A and B are shown apart, each in its own frame.
Chain A
Amino acid sequence: MLLKLVRKRLAPYGRLLLGLVVLQLINVGANLYLPTLNADIIDNGVSKGNTGYIWDTGGLMLGVTLVQAIGSIGAAFLGAKIAMSFGRDTRASIFRAVGRFSGREMGQFGAPSLITRSTNDVQQVQLLVLMGCTLMVTAPFMMVGGVIMALRQDAGLSWLVLLAVVVLGVSVGLIVRLMVPAFRLVQRRIDRVNRVMREHLSGVRVIRAFTREGYEQSRFDIATDDLTDVQLRVGRLMMLMFPLVFTVMNVSTIGVWWFGAHQVADGHIEIGSLSAYMTYLIQILMSVMMATFMFMMIPRASVAAERITDVVTTEASVRPPEHPVTPDRLRGIVELRRASMQYPGADEPVLRDVGLRAEPGQTVAIIGSTGSGKSTLLSLIARFFDTTSGAVLVDGVDVKELDPQQLWGHIGIVPQKAYLFSGTVASNLRYGNPDATESDLWEALEVAQARDFVQRMDGGLEAAITQGGTNVSGGQRQRLCIARALVARPRIYLFDDSFSALDLATDQRLRAALAPHVRESTVFIVAQRVSTIRTADSIIVLDDGVVVGQGTHDELLAECPEYQEIVASQHGADEEVA
């Protein structure tokens, strides 16, 4: 997983990588050469008091060092560039993958986890790549160089080197193996810390109202403590690595001296080649130690890579068809044919065999009890979800055959949960239509009955809006959401209970102003108040996912018992239905 991800994402940087390898080779070469010069200075210079020789060799040594410095500066340059570009590309690919997700996948991963994956997880892999850029070349070369040199000495001690390398390999491998599941937990628990804190931030008013600060703190403490627990566990394993490597290194030098001494005593080798052998052994083990640095990063990085790959390879359940039908322009005729829909994990469908048809200029109202499937119906038209059976057609084309981008380009939605983005009033209004002029904005605000309060806001159109729209009142937020949809000038409007936070007078004025504005579009309105929808061309009464009535206000009033009940519920016994 890790390797695949890294390979895929590093592919565009082949040239840089090549450059990096070259620079690292220079680096390694210099590194291998320098000890020789070192020894040379002492043997032939210092010990003979030959200052001239020292100066000459010293000069050479400085030259080599300079080359090495340039090499490693270049390598640092390229390594950082590659690693950070890798991080950037990976983040972008996650962000885009999530952009394609539909509600189903969003629910499956959960926003908090997707957020951690986009930053924290990427960081882990990026760190490994950065490490790899500095060590991946150096360590193996030093190791191979060391092994070759050591074998050339033929001290009959190769088995010892082999043993040390195998012991190291096996034990490091074992530790890494144990660390992987632990790190999987670490990342999952970071998700949880993230989620709990995010909930605290979004629910802060409720939490304070119920004085549940203590409870939240303990919820968070549990999440944090759980995280710390696995971090300690994983830390204990990780902390074994270095001492282990050091000890194996030290023990094997002792071993070389002991067995080597026997070889010398038996006259198999010279004492000189034993010393040389020692040097190479140290070099091999040093490179193993460098590699250990990498190995310490691998478990967390591979878990992160796994989580990243999960996101990137998840196919969106709502996806553009391979050969989308692309009508020149959509008129906005919406039709549902025996549409049914069942949420993943649910026992029963929330919508059953829903049929309806609406044309531009028509207003279709949907009314029904809480949980009867009104919002779900709208989300089928907007293709946030796909029908499980039956079809949704726009201009006679199944929405599954349309390019979603094109479809969405013609839909303006006012969601039940009014949500604004941080920015300004204007940036929110222009959300669906970046080119809207200021007068367009004012016009939409006028229709949405939001002109007055926006004018009074500090800065008018440029007044700041906080994330979610928490700094305006609920009704104001709803009206801004309506205005946002109006600015987009879509063919199909979906108003999901968008007037619930409005007082009746405002509601009325708004609808009155809205009517001429949306005359050319197909309008769907979900509402609770009969007064909001009574003039609709067609009213659909939903009950438990089934259409139990369809017609005009008067028709329904005459023959649909559910509708009669609804109407009755809104007017006290003493009031006549106007």
Chain B
Amino acid sequence: MARRKEATPAPAVPAGDRAAKPVRRGGGPGMGIGMAEKSKDFSGSARRLLGRLAPYRLTLGTILVLTIASVTLNVLGPKVLGQAVDKIFAGSVGALLPHGQSKAAVVAALRAHGENTRADMLAGMDVVPGVGINFDTVGRILLTVLALYVCAGVFQVIQARLLNNVVQRSMNTLRKDVEAKINKVPLSYLDGQPRGELLSRVTNDIDNIGQSMQQTLSQLLVNGLTVIGVIVMMFTISWWLTMVAMVAIPVVMVVTGQVMKRSQKLFVAQWGHTGRLNGQIEETFTGHDLVKVFGREREVEAEFDTTNEALADVSWRAQFVSGLVMPIMMFVGNLQYVVVCVLGGLQVANGSMSLGNVTAFVQYSRQFTQPLTQLASMVNLMQSGVASAERVFEVLDAPEQEPEGDAKLPPTRGAVEFDDVGFGYAPDTPLIQELSLRVEPGQTVAIVGPTGAGKTTLVNLLMRFYELDSGRILVDGVDIRTVPRGDLRSRIGMVLQDAWLFHGTIRENIAYGQLNATEDQIRAAARATFVDRFVHSLPEGYDTVIDEEGSGVSAGERQLITIARAFLADPAMLILDEATSSVDTRTEVMLQEAMAALRSDRTSFVIAHRLSTIRDADTILVMEDGRIVEQGDHSELLAAGGAYYRLYMSQFEGAMTEADPNALAPAP
């Protein structure tokens, strides 16, 4: 029937997969992550998650003690309250009986009238005929109960608060660990995956782990303890009935085991889809204008809808399958109840157990299945949390950059040597081969060549953004692989081809080059790099908040800010990678002066297409296809009449002639 059909989740996962497929265009390097929809190691991840709580052992111990205390008080409460109820009951009965008679006499009188049941009842009560409810005693007992409950409540508050602290703090360190990890992975790892996917792990997944931990941990404790307590109580009454009642435990295990097996994959898929969706959203919002102007909205929406649908589908399956535990458990609980009643009834009938004991037992067995059901239904929350944890651990386990060396760089002179360097972004496609180069301290080296020649790659290697495949790079005679990356990079100021600003004021963005710079230094750097000029026209000046997307300033202005940053850093060596490509030429000419000052006495690498900016470089390298094809100063290279000559002449070749790739420019 319908239930069976829906409850069979076997087709669920393939369906989710199918839905997700069109979303992945091609086989980008993004494949590495978030694709696996199978839980890798549920119990391992769960253990690891719990392991992260180890630093809070003491607090967790306190929580355990408090929970035991409050559970005990809560179990004790009804018992004590029962005494009060007995007293009230006895009092109300006693008040109706004739004054002055003894209880035995009343019982005997009743028996004489053949009212055996009432007689039995009376005999078992603490009645004094003619005496009503003793409010003193009742009051005292009730006050005790009140004290018990209030104490239990206070314990609960403290316990919950402590637990909240533990969970939130451990989520805090988890987030920090991910951030720290991002500083350790190679760039290729970060390039290779959608940003939004990673972001989802930090926000959505960690949020989910926190929420599910918070709910499961305390419930686990309370219900677990209650189950144990109740089992103990049941044993004191009848061990063999207890054994019968405990049959429920393996049933619970089988049921939850079955459900878990199915829902687990679904939860893993749910969070995987959430990440993927977040990735799509992030990318679409980032390229918002492009989506619109290229009329892509419909496709983008369709793509979004597919993932969104897949997410909704897998989420409801996960929810539904794990939601089956509760009703099934209730059924099992009731079944157990009936069985216990039947067996208990038989016991009463053949007189081997007292009625009171059987009823007490029956009551307990009810109390026993209820927390058990709770425990079983915690499983889905746990699974969801662990599925998220797994995704976070996946990031934490990503391979890291090669370890750092610990050699020291000598005090800077700025000699750089590339020694037979080989490198490729992909292992089997070498880009740079057998490249050797010597730069004397204080020299300015210009790198020119067509785009894609490997200019940026070359300086990236010097920055040790990537590891060499062969050869080595020496700075002042020291192999850069043997020194800590930070030491190397802090010597080099770099203006990258892609200007990057973060959400903050212009002042903060400039000060990024040197965190403890004074206001004067910041202004000086800003003036030298013409940032000051446009900042003046902004209503809020240096306090203008700009953001990563770059709204607020123009692209050229962004570049100027990044130059100001490097200017402020005042590094020992300098790399300018097409630093002024978006800046107009008049500003650029004026900037030259500042740049020349910045370069003097520092080893500098300058990549530029406007050759006028690099004419006075000490050495000009012409790169093509990852090789240095020419090397020399401006006049030497012009005289040589080779690649540089052609490049140089091409800038005066104004007329739009029909292009002939083989003859770049007219012969001299």
Contact = CB atoms under 8 A, between A and B. Distances in A.
A427 B25 contact: yes
A17 B169 CA distance: 39
Given A211-B490, A251-B149, A503-B451, A528 B348 contact: no
B396 interface: no
A106 B288 contact: yes
Contacts of A81: 316, 320
Given A197-B179, A432-B294, A464-B27, A534 B654 contact: yes
A235 B609 contact: no
Nearest to B183: A213
Contacts, number: 555
Contacts of B358: 46
A228 B171 contact: yes
A205 to B, nearest CB: 6
A534 to B, nearest CB: 5
A411 B292 CA distance: 10
Given A261-B88, A422-B194, A61 B334 contact: yes
Contact of B539 (A236, A346, A531): A346
Interface in A91-146: 91-92, 95-96, 98-99, 101, 103, 106-107, 110-111, 114-116, 118-120, 123, 130
A66 interface: yes
Interface string B292-314: 11111101110011001101110
B187 A204 contact: yes
Counting chain A CB atoms within 10 Å of each CB, the highest count among B274, B320, B345, B647 belongs to B345
B164 interface: yes
A124 B647 CA distance: 60
B585 A529 contact: yes
Contacts of A409: 295
Contacts of A438: none
A42 B359 contact: yes
28 contacts: A49-B350, A92-B304, A95-B304, A103-B288, A114-B281, A114-B285, A115-B278, A119-B278, A120-B204, A206-B500, A209-B489, A209-B496, A224-B179, A232-B168, A239-B164, A242-B160, A246-B153, A250-B145, A261-B88, A346-B538, A347-B539, A422-B194, A466-B30, A473-B456, A475-B452, A505-B665, A512-B657, A512-B658
A65 B334 contact: yes
* Contact residues of A: prevailing secondary structure: helix
A403 B349 CA distance: 87
A474 B495 CA distance: 14
Contacts of A242: 156, 160
Contact of B91 (A265, A347, A474): A265
Per CB-CB distance, the 7 closest pairs between chain A and chain B, nearest first, are: A475-B451, A49-B349, A370-B556, A58-B338, A239-B160, A423-B25, A88-B312
A217 B180 contact: yes
Contact of B191 (A51, A247, A471): A471
A505 B342 contact: no
Contacts of B311: 88
B429 A458 contact: yes
Given A46-B348, A209-B463, A61 B338 contact: yes
Interface in B310-355: 311-313, 315-317, 319-320, 323-324, 326-328, 330-331, 334-335, 337-338, 341-342, 344-346, 348-350, 355
B175 interface: yes
A76 B320 contact: yes
Interface residues of A, number: 192
Contacts of A96: 301
A75 B234 CA distance: 34
A246 B289 contact: no
Interface stretch (A170-178, A330-338, A413-421): A413-421
Interface string B357-382: 01100100010000000000000000
A347 B652 CA distance: 41
Interface in A455-471: 458, 462, 464-468, 470-471
B496 A205 contact: yes
Contact of A49 (B77, B287, B296, B348): B348
Interface stretch (B42-50, B404-412, B436-444, B544-552): B544-552
A375 B554 contact: yes
A446 to B, nearest CB: 10
Contacts of A85: 312, 316
A210 B281 CA distance: 30
A569 interface: yes
Given A61-B337, A475-B452, 19 more contacts: A46-B362, A49-B345, A54-B341, A55-B342, A62-B338, A65-B334, A73-B327, A87-B312, A119-B203, A202-B500, A203-B548, A211-B485, A225-B172, A246-B153, A432-B296, A504-B609, A531-B654, A570-B610, A578-B654
A474 B498 contact: yes
A197 B654 contact: no
Contact of A220 (B176, B293, B584): B176
Interface in A15-71: 34, 38, 41-42, 45-51, 54-55, 58-59, 61-62, 65-66, 68-70
Counting chain B CB atoms within 10 Å of each CB, the highest count among A240, A475, A531 belongs to A475
A208 B463 contact: yes
A364 to B, nearest CB: 16
B225 interface: no
A221 B177 CA distance: 10
A502 B609 contact: yes
A296 to B, nearest CB: 10
A408 interface: yes
A130 B394 CA distance: 29
A197 B168 contact: no
B231 interface: no
B316 A84 contact: yes
B654 to A, nearest CB: 5
A357 to B, nearest CB: 22
B3 interface: yes
Contacts of B127: none
A431 interface: yes
B290 A415 contact: yes
A190 to B, nearest CB: 6
B161 interface: yes
A572 B348 contact: no
Contact of B285 (A62, A115, A422): A115
Interface string A239-262: 110111011001101100110111
Contacts of B450: 475, 503, 505-506
B10 interface: no
A242 B547 CA distance: 43
A347 B537 CA distance: 8
A194 interface: yes
Contacts of B138: 257-258, 261
Contacts of A510: 659
Interface in A494-541: 497, 500-513, 515, 528-531, 534-535
Nearest to B425: A471
Contact of A119 (B204, B300, B655): B204
Contact of A118 (B281, B301, B345, B503): B281
Contacts of A151: none
A62 B207 CA distance: 41
Given A84-B316, A512-B656, A103 B345 contact: no
Contacts of A202: 195, 500, 548
A58 B342 contact: yes
Contacts of B169: 228
B347 to A, nearest CB: 8
B448 interface: yes
Contact of A201 (B176, B190, B330): B190
Contact of B335 (A62, A98, A130): A62
A571 interface: yes
B455 to A, nearest CB: 8
Contact of B513 (A210, A253, A426, A431): A210
Contacts of A193: 175, 202-203
A264 to B, nearest CB: 5
Given A119-B277, A417-B550, A501-B578, A203 B324 contact: no
